[in-house]
Chains A and B, each alone.
Chain A
Amino acid sequence: MGQTLYDKLWNAHLVHEEPDGTALLYIDRHLIHEVTSPQAYEGLKLAGRKPWRSDSVVATADHNTPTTDWELGIDGIRDVTSRLQVETLDANIKHYGARAYFPFLDKRQGIVHVIGPEQGATLPGMTVVCGDSHTSTHGAFGCLAHGIGTSEVEHVLATQCLVAKKMKNMRVTVDGPLPRGVVGKDVVLAIIGKIGTAGGTGCAIEFAGSTIRALSMEGRMTVCNMAIEAGARAGMVAVDDTTIAYVKGRALSPSGPQWDQAVVYWRTLVSDPDAKFDREVSLDARSILPQVTWGTSPEMVVAVDGTVPDPDKEKDAARREGMERALQYMALTPRTPITDIRLDKVFIGSCTNSRIEDLRHAAAVVKGRKVASSIRSAMVVPGSGLVKAQAEKEGLDRIFRDAGFEWREPGCSMCLAMNADRLEPGERCAATSNRNFEGRQGDGGRTHLVSPAMAAAAAVAGHFVDIRNWR
C-alpha cells in the first residue's frame, strides 16, 4: 500500500519505536524564541546537560519585541519582564550556541515562522519543531512541523529527539479556482468553519487539491499556519515546483551538487496515489467567499455576505450557550449583516499574514485612499526585517503611510499583545492574525479574523466590505 506524505516523513525520522508505538523521532530543525525557551535552558543547566546539536537551532526574539522606538535599542523594551526575557534568550544563545540567531534589532529579525522559510532554515523533508503552536506553518514545505511545549523544547535540546506517537492521516482537498479576492486565509477559515476547532485533533492534515497547488508558498504557509486552529498540530503540503523554486538560493539552502541531490529527494515528498487516509474532507473552492469570524473561536466564521448567526437556530444546547456567550463578549446582535460591523482598529501582521504578498494585497486595496476617520488606529507590522525592507523597496510603506496606516517594526505584535500593541477593552479589530479568543489582542478586545485585503478594505471603509466588489 502507498504511503502518505506524513507516513514518509515519519518513517524517515524514526530512530526507535517501542512495541506500543511510542517512538523517538529525530528533529532536524529546532526554532527557538524568547517566551517558551528560558525554562528549557534552565532545565538543561540544572541537569548538567548540553545541547545535542546546537547547529540545529535557529533563534529569534519576536513575541515581546516592540514595534516602535528601535532607535532606543534594548531600552525600547519598557516592560522590564519582557526585557529580561529577551536578554535571557541572548544569554542562552550566547552560552549554548545556534546555527543562526537573529536577535532583537537585527535587520533579519522577525516572527520565527516568517524567518525560518525566508532564511532557508526550513527545508522540505525536515522535522521542524518550536515551542509555538503555529510551527505548523512550516509544513507548507513538505515538512513534519509542529508546536511543542517547553518540556519538549528541553527534550529536543538534550536529545535531538522527540517522544511521539504517530498521528492519524487526514487529507483536506480543495479543488477549483478561487473567486476573485479570495485567498489562502479564506480557504483555511472556510476549512475550520467546516470541520471545527477540534476537527483535526489527533491528526496531521495534508492540504491537497488543485486550489492548494495553485497557491504560492506564502498562501500555503497561511493555510498550514492555521492547521492548529482546526485542532491539528501539523499541517502540510506536498513538494512541487513552487516549493523548490521558493527554497532555491536562500541563505541556509543547499547549493551546487548538494542542491541537485536534495531536489531529487524532495520530489519524492508527496503522498502516493494509492495512499490511505484515515479521514478525508473536501471543499469546492468556487463556493469559498471572503471569510470573517464573528465569535471567540476561529470556527465561528461566516462569509462576508452573511449575517451574524442566531443562537436560537442552534439545536445543540452546549453550542447554543457557547454562541450566546461569544455574541455577548463580541457585543453583536444576531442577524446583523457582516458588512454593517464597524471597526475601531485594524491590524495587518502575524505569522499568518505578514509576508510580502500579504502586504502587496493590502497595499493594492488602500493605494490612493485614506483610512476612515472612525478608525482609531490601523497598523501594518511586517513579519520580518527583510519583509519590511522589501516592502519599502517596492514603496508599499508609502502607500500605507499616505493612507494613514502606521508602518511598524517587525514582530508578533498585536496578534497576542505581549508587547505594547494591544486593543483597549471593548475595541473591535479587523485582524489578519489567527486567534479571536477572548482577550487575545488585549483584555476585553474584540477580534475579527480576515485576510489582508479584507482588513485593508475595512480600514478604508470603517466597516467590513466584500472585497470581491472592491474597485
Chain B
Amino acid sequence: MDAFTVLTGVVAPLDRANVDTDQVIPKQFLKSIHRSGFGPNLFDAWRYLDHGEPGMNHAARPRNPDFVLNQPRYEKAAILLARRNFGCGSSREHAPWALLDYGFRCVIAPSFADIFFNNCFKNGLLPVVLSESEVDALFYDCASFPGFQLTVDLDQQSVRTANGSKVLHFEVDPFRKYCLLNGLDEIGLTLRQTDKIRAFEARRREQFPWYFR
C-alpha cells in the first residue's frame, strides 16, 4: 500500500447524498480478476452517455458533459468532495480501487458507509469526515473558485486552503493513521501476533470443537 502523508490537489464536488458503490463502479466491471484498471469506469453510468462494458475503448465513448468529472476545471482532481453516507451499499473494494485508479487519493464527506470507509484505509485512500456545514462551505468554495485546491495533511489531521484562509481539523483512528502514514502491510502486522492467534485458536478448538469440524 502507498503511504499517505500530505496531499495537495484540485477538489471535485459530487453534490448528491447516498452515493452507493454500484454508482462508483457498476457491476459489469467487477468481473475483472485484477485490482487495477477500474479508473476509466469510475461513475461509469453518470460519466458516459452510452452503456459501458469491459473491454470497450472508453476514451472514445461519448461523455456526459453535465457530469462534474467531465468538466475541464476538475480534470486533474485528486480530492473528491461528497455528501453524506458516501459509499453505501455493496462491499466491493473495486470502489476505492476505481477512485484511486482515476487519480483520487482522498474523499471528503460528512459521513461514510462503514464498509467503504474501512476499505479506503486498506488501499491508501484517505476518507476525511468533516461536519455538514464545513462540507457545505467547501462546496461553495469549489463552485466559486475555479481550480480550487486543498491540502490534506494526515499527520496534522488538517484540511487547509492554499492561502491558509481556512484550516479544518478532522479525526482519524490512531492505528489507521499509523498504517496509512507508513504504508504498512496490515497482514504483516497481524502476523506479529501469530503466537496469540495460535493460542486462542487452540483454546477455542478445545472449548467449542464443533466450530472446527
Q: In whole angstroms, how far apart are the Cα atoms of A444 and B96 in the complex?
A: 24
**Interface size, A (range):** 35 or more
Q: In whole angstroms, how far apart are the Cα atoms of A22 and B31 in the complex?
A: 33
A contact residues around B208 at 8 Å (CB) = 125, 262, 265
B contact residues around A55 at 8 Å (CB) = 212
**Chain A 307-342: CB-based contact to B (< 8 A → 1; otherwise 0):** 000000000001101100100000000000000000
Q: Which residue of A lies closest to B189 (CB)?
A: A163
A contact residues around B32 at 8 Å (CB) = 81
Min CB distance, B83 to chain A, in Å? 7
Task: Check B92 for interface membership: any CB of A closer than 8 A.
Answer: yes
Which B residues, 44 to 100, have Cβ-Cβ distances below 8 Å to chain A?
45, 51, 54-55, 83-85, 88-93, 96
Q: In whole angstroms, how far apart are the Cα atoms of A132 and B27 in the complex?
A: 13
Task: Check A161 for interface membership: any CB of B closer than 8 A.
Answer: yes
| Beta-carbon contact of A126 and B91 below 8 Å | no
Interface-side segment among A82-90, A376-384, A450-458? A82-90
Interface-side segment among B18-26, B150-158, B162-170? B18-26
B contact residues around A177 at 8 Å (CB) = none
B contact residues around A24 at 8 Å (CB) = 190, 193, 196-197
Task: Check A20 for interface membership: any CB of B closer than 8 A.
Answer: yes
| Beta-carbon contact of A150 and B187 below 8 Å | no
| Beta-carbon contact of B45 and A439 below 8 Å | yes
Q: Which residue of A lies closest to B34 (CB)?
A: A39
Min CB distance, A223 to chain B, in Å? 18
Task: Check B175 for interface membership: any CB of A closer than 8 A.
Answer: yes
Q: In whole angstroms, how far apart are the Cα atoms of A319 and B51 in the complex?
A: 28
| Beta-carbon contact of A36 and B93 below 8 Å | yes
**Interface size, B (range):** 35 or more
Q: In whole angstroms, how far apart are the Cα atoms of A92 and B85 in the complex?
A: 35
Which B residues, 85 to 120, have Cβ-Cβ distances below 8 Å to chain A?
85, 88-93, 96, 111, 113-115, 118-119
Task: Check A79 for interface membership: any CB of B closer than 8 A.
Answer: yes
Taking chain A's interface residues, is the majority helix, strand, or loop, or is none over half, making it mixed?
Answer: loop
Which A residues, 432 to 453, have Cβ-Cβ distances below 8 Å to chain B?
435, 437-440, 443
Q: Using A197-B18, A417-B27 as known contacts, say yes or no to A26 and B186 having CB atoms under 8 A apart.
A: no
A contact residues around B23 at 8 Å (CB) = 437-439
A contact residues around B115 at 8 Å (CB) = 133, 146-149, 228, 233
Q: In whole angstroms, how far apart are the Cα atoms of A55 and B122 in the complex?
A: 26
Which A residues, 167 to 183, have Cβ-Cβ distances below 8 Å to chain B?
167
B contact residues around A228 at 8 Å (CB) = 89, 115
A contact residues around B193 at 8 Å (CB) = 15-16, 24, 161
| Beta-carbon contact of A197 and B85 below 8 Å | yes
Which A residues, 232 to 274, have Cβ-Cβ distances below 8 Å to chain B?
232-233, 252-254, 258-259, 261-262, 265
Q: Which residue of A lies closest to B176 (CB)?
A: A22
Q: In whole angstroms, how far apart are the Cα atoms of A322 and B92 in the complex?
A: 24
**What would 18 A/B residue contacts be, using CB atoms closer than 8 Å?**
A22-B173, A26-B197, A26-B200, A36-B91, A39-B35, A39-B93, A82-B31, A85-B31, A85-B33, A88-B33, A123-B211, A161-B190, A198-B111, A201-B111, A231-B88, A252-B213, A439-B45, A440-B27
Q: Which residues of A contact B (CB under 8 A)?
A: 15-16, 18, 20, 22, 24, 26, 28, 35-36, 38-39, 42, 47, 49, 52-53, 55, 63-64, 79, 81-82, 84-85, 88, 123, 125-126, 131-133, 146-152, 154-155, 158-161, 163, 165, 167, 197-198, 201-202, 228, 231-233, 252-254, 258-259, 261-262, 265, 297, 318-319, 321-322, 325, 416-418, 435, 437-440, 443
